[in-house]
Amino acid sequence: MPDVIAYGGDWNPEQWPEETWEQDVALMREAGVNRVSLGIFSWSLLEPVEGVFEFGWLDRAMDLLAVNGIRANLATPTASPPPWFADTYPEALPVDADGRRLYHGSRQAFCPSSPIYKEKALRIAEQVALRYRDHPALALWHVHNEYGCHNARCYCDASAAAFRAWLRSRYASLDELNDAWGTAFWSQHYSDWAQILPPRATPSFVNPGQLLDFRRFSSDALVELYLAERELLKQITPGVPATTNLMAGAHWDMDCWAFAAELDVVSTDHYLIGARAEPHIDLAFAADYARSLNGGRPWLLMEHSTSAVNWQQPRNLAKAPGELRRNSLAHLARGADGIMFFQWRQSRAGAEKWHSAMLPHAGPDTKIFREVKALGAELAGLADVAGSRVEAEVALLIDHSSVWAQDHPAQPSSELDPVEEAKRWHAALWRAGITCDIAHPEGDLSGYRLVLVPQLYLVSDAGAANLEEFARRGGVVLVGPYSGIVDEHDRVRLGGYPGAWRDLLGVTVEEFFPLAEPIRLASGATGRLWSEAARVTTAKVLDTYASGEPAWTRNEFGDGVAHYLTTLLDDAALAGVIGTVCGEAGVEPAAGTVPGVEVVRRTRADGGSFLFAINHTGEDATVTTRDGRTVTVAAGDAVVVPG
């Protein structure tokens, strides 16, 4: 990572006549841009005919950047194969679960398991690497673009063969697979590996184990494609770091943990969903997730938008004055050392011409470009923040396998949404001024005081033991309902729910009672969507349903404590419970909280620290720092102060 804040966006000079480029770089310099992502969707221009390479325009673009002191996240352009590829190798196009082949004419039209796609992708990646290996503008490899954004799962015959190979390496025998998938049910027993298919359209519910493994396989297939490109790049440019832009928190088809483990630096994209209530809290979740994926180290925001996107139909909301700055500083506050946008210059043509950019259609004399310039200057002034870290005392557990398993349509309730529930718990912490990491259930929890488990339907034996161990050693745990229910193959853990954590929680549950209507608890709180017929074994009951059955319990376990909720509490009551467990764990907010004002701290290795206070409200606010100073943050403003 650079020792300044990286600032810039996707530069797509190939969309413009070369006369425009000089103006581009002059305006970039005016805006303080020091980094661009380049060549992401340029395969069809770099290799216009199979095996014929034309680099002239990219040479000139790279040279122009170098002369102007701007560095490049240079892409391997493999996210969008050219029309000649689809034309010559139609078998490499992706196929959906209904057997429909998807054609070229947009992007990512390839099957992730296609050998010919891999071969051609590696060839163009190699050409780019050989050409620019020593170029002074090259800072970072931007491998592909948003793996799996549109083609995360392919159901073609090549995918079926690759899925079988993946299963053979996961299961020692067909017997083991039959057992894991529970194929005795509905006469699904396999007697030959060749009978196994991707979960294509079926008359009724597909086998849950098959579905879950297919999602794991599909994510792994994308990681493998990344690894193939990365290995090639490392051979040619061993000293140049590589990344690919994830979609952490927004897109759940790819296992971000598996990807992150292979990146030299985690980078991610985040698009504000304007229609969401308090979208800046969703932003904070994505940023916290990105930092956690990078092991707490600074990460790179590869893309966000200066204003509206053009894909949240029916209404794409433009950002209000100041919102671009608040969004950018919120990412910075949560550990980003680079703030980048899609894209530098707003396209004139193509499917994203209505997507905002740093330099809008109307030119530089605009609200957006003025804000872009001001932000560039501000980030240059915050160079000292680069390299500092956000330290969280709370971890919130989430796992892709669990999300995927719960996605199977045959559930006790289709109204439970583990991602939204995790975000709701995260929002309660946000409002309390407490920053949390997002952690994998099998990850290292030893540095935390409090672990939250909003809804972890599936947990492996190792993950289950990990949480128990955390509590045994003195940690505080809060588990939400429908957690710890199944094993890693989506098989029920028997003997009373939640089978993984009956001892930890001191509770056993006989039956689930999804709720049609909210119900009132003894405390006056409301439970929604879900309830359970639970019985305490060693826990104490802190709140109950009208029936007297427990809604909230607390169990002492080893040197620690484990709380359990058997319903989805309303926001205020949930905030109360989270406040209680934070208190028990001794977790402190970054500063005194004011509703709607985001407070986060970054700390330098030398002990110096920066308090970010971002006022998302229309009223001026006064924040009190931990050492008792007061800081005024005007309506819509953000400040960064020592502390």
Q: Which residues bind ligand GAL (CB under 6 A)?
A: 145-146, 149, 269, 303, 309, 311, 342, 352, 355
In a 13 Å sphere around the CA of 221, the CA atoms on its Cβ side amount to: 31
- Three-state DSSP at 4 gives coil
The least distance separating ligand GAL from the CB of residue 303, rounded to whole angstroms, comes to 6
- Of 219 and 402, which has the nearer Cβ to ligand GAL? 219
Residue 303 falls in the annotated catalytic set: yes
Q: Indicate the residue among 293 and 505 with the shorter CB distance to ligand GAL.
A: 293
Alpha-carbon distance of 322 to 615, in angstroms, equals 11
Contacts of 170 (CB under 8 A, 6+ apart): 213
Structure tokens given for 634: 């005007």
CB 269, min distance to ligand GAL, A? 5
CB of 527 to ligand GAL, least distance (A): 37
Among residues 47, 229, 303, 421, which one is catalytic?
A: 303
Per the omega criterion (within 30 degrees of 0), is the bond before 518 cis? no
Q: Which residues pair with 10 in a beta bridge?
A: 37
Which of 599, 617, 32 has its CA nearest to residue 323? 617
Six token digits for residue 367: 């609200």
Tally of CB atoms within 10 A around 365: 7
Q: Are 220 and 166 in contact (CB under 8 A)?
A: yes
Instruction: Choose between 194 and 351: whose C-beta lies nearer to ligand GAL.
Output: 351
Per annotation, catalytic residue among 146, 323, 468, 598: 146
Whole-angstrom Cα distance, residue 460 to residue 464? 6
Q: Least Å distance between CB 302 and ligand GAL? A: 8
Q: If phi over 0 gives left and psi between -120 and 50 gives alpha, with beta otherwise, what is residue 114?
A: beta
Cβ closest to ligand GAL, residue 253 vs residue 303: 303
Comparing every residue's Cβ against ligand GAL, the nearest one is: 342
Cα 68 to Cα 65: distance, rounded to the nearest angstrom: 5
Residue number, 189 or 361, with CB nearest to ligand GAL: 361
Does residue 421 carry a catalytic annotation?
A: no
Beta bridge partners of 338: 6, 300
Residues counted in the chain = 643
Pick 309 or 591: Cβ nearer ligand GAL: 309
* Rounded distance between C-alpha atoms, residue 312 and residue 308, angstroms: 9
Rounded CA separation 200/206 (Å) = 8
> Can you spell out the DSSP letters for 192-210?
SGGG-------SSPPPHHH
CB 251 → ligand GAL: shortest distance, Å?
9
* SS3 (DSSP) at 477: strand
CB of 293 to ligand GAL, least distance (A): 17
Burial tier of 567 (Cβ tally within 10 Å: 0-12, 13-18, 19+)? buried
Our CB check for ligand GAL shows the closer of 146 and 323 to be 146
Instruction: Decide whether 155 or 252 has the Cβ nearer to ligand GAL.
Output: 252
Q: Which helix (H) or strand (E) holds 71?
A: strand 71-76
Element (H, E) at 430: helix 418-431
Q: Give min distance, CB of 275 to ligand GAL, in A.
A: 16
Closest approach of ligand GAL to the CB of residue 15, in Å: 12
Provide, rounded to whole angstroms, the least separation between the CB of residue 335 and ligand GAL.
21
CB 177 within 8 A of CB 213: no
Is-contact 327 611, C-beta < 8 A? Answer: no
Choose between 309 and 623: whose C-beta lies nearer to ligand GAL. 309
Q: How far is CA 168 from the centre of its chain?
A: 30
Q: What is residue 497's DSSP assignment? A: B
Q: Round to whole Å and give the CA distance between 159 and 224.
A: 13
CA 135 to chain CA centroid, Å, is: 32
Q: Which residues are catalytic?
A: 146, 303
